[in-house]
Amino acid sequence: MVRDKAPDRMRALVVETLAPDFAGCAVREVATPTPGPGEARIRVRAASVNFPDLLMTRGDYQFKPPPPFTPGLDVAGEVEALGEGVTGWAIGDAVVGGARLGGFAEFAVLPAQALRPKPARLSFAQAAAYGAAYLTAYVALVRRAALQPGEWLLVHGAAGGVGLAAVDLGKVLGARVIAASASDAKLAAIDAAYAPEALINVTGGFRDQVKALTGGRGADVVYDPVGGDVFDESVRCIAFDGRLLAVGFASGRIPTLSVNLALIKGFSLMGVRAGEYGRQFPDRGRENLDAVWRMADQGLIRPRVHAQLPLADWREAFGLLAGRQVVGKAVLRPDL
């Protein structure tokens, strides 16, 4: 193993028991992990907080690791040690990577093949905020919905990580983007950062507003990470031959669809799981990652970091996301 000097112990956020309100989580001192064959150890400079991280703390996500474990999907940092057989990376390289676990710690071990060079245009915090959110948006809009230039794209939860990524990517793809949120302050921040075609406050309903904006046709593509009532009303303002993308259920209620509505209105319901898409179609998965990171290298996209907090303030970071207070991503910085 090729390595730099690292302490034998490190700080990590550990889920010790599955419990509501993050009651089973605590920052602990644990053994610094050693990379095995084909792996690299990263000195974590930033790790973004995603909804799956929160769900895993109470066992509500599809992937259910047994405690104790350290959550954290998206990390950015520097290569600190290399396992046997790893080539193409050197100690000190600035990288980004994604794994199901391990990011909320001072050091994380990832498969070397899962690493990519950190785009020079992005800070460590921006790079950590980028991967999962924009990959989800890319798989949804490009692979599933085949979004076309000029089409109307309605993005719900537009201030959240995956929602804001869809707003940004939708504009890059040439769509006419309608950003939807329940907060005027969040909509103002979205407008200042990305200038979508239209902004809608969904409080009190949004069907008529979408119809009016689209000349009565409705949205060609609806991107929904919210579910619940938002999904139900989206069915009422989607265009004929439209595509309704089920990205998540941040509202807490998993909706149901009366299929006669899909038949009459001629729209398609499409599920989106970006990681699973890549596992089912490995070649396309690699193409997706190449496309997403190429856009970052070219400066076509602009991930927004709402807050950067030290690892000790993990509860505040989790609370920002759980309380839907972020516009973009909250990021943990173990180096602070």
- Domain range annotation of the chain: 2-122+305-333, 132-276
Residue 235: phi, psi to the nearest 5?
-60, -30
Q: Rounded to whole angstroms, how far apart are CA atoms 124 and 127? A: 5
Q: Rounded to whole angstroms, how far apart are CA atoms 222 and 241? A: 12
pLDDT at 110: 95
Which CATH number fits the domain 132-276, given the four candidates 3.40.50.720, 3.40.50.2300, 3.40.47.10, 3.40.50.300? 3.40.50.720
CATH fold label, 2-122+305-333: Quinone Oxidoreductase; Chain A, domain 1 (3.90.180)
pLDDT at 323: 87
Which residue pairs from 21-29 have beta carbons closer than 8 angstroms and sit at least 24 positions apart in sequence?
22/54, 22/57, 22/315, 22/318, 24/57, 24/58, 24/67, 25/57, 25/314, 25/315, 27/311, 27/312, 27/314
Residues 6+ apart with CB under 8 A from 315: 22, 25
pLDDT at 169: 98
pLDDT at 336: 86
Residues 6+ apart with CB under 8 A from 144: 243, 245, 270, 272
Per-residue pLDDT of the chain (336 residues; tens, 9 = 90+): 555 577 899 999 999 999 999 999 999 999 999 999 999 999 999 999 998 899 999 999 888 999 999 999 999 999 999 999 999 999 999 999 988 899 999 999 999 998 999 999 999 999 999 988 999 999 999 999 999 999 999 999 999 999 999 999 999 999 999 999 999 999 999 999 999 999 999 999 999 999 999 999 999 999 999 999 999 999 999 999 999 999 998 888 999 999 999 999 999 999 999 989 999 999 999 999 999 999 999 999 989 999 999 999 999 999 999 888 899 999 999 988
Q: What is the DSSP letter of 69?
A: B
pLDDT at 4: 57
Rounded to a whole number of angstroms, the CA Rg of the chain reads 20
Give the residue among 181, 137, 195, 199 at the shortest CA–CA distance from 162: 137
Q: What is the pTM of this model?
A: 0.90
Residue 270 bridge partners (DSSP): 245
Cβ count near 195 (within 10 Å): 12
pLDDT at 6: 78
Bridge-based pairing state of the strands 9-15 and 25-31: antiparallel
pLDDT at 1: 57
Burial 80-99 (b: 16+ CB within 10 A, else e): bbbbeebeeeeeebbbbbbb
pLDDT at 286: 93
Express the helix, strand and coil content of the chain in percent, nearest 5 each: 35, 30, 40
pLDDT at 2: 57
pLDDT at 123: 96
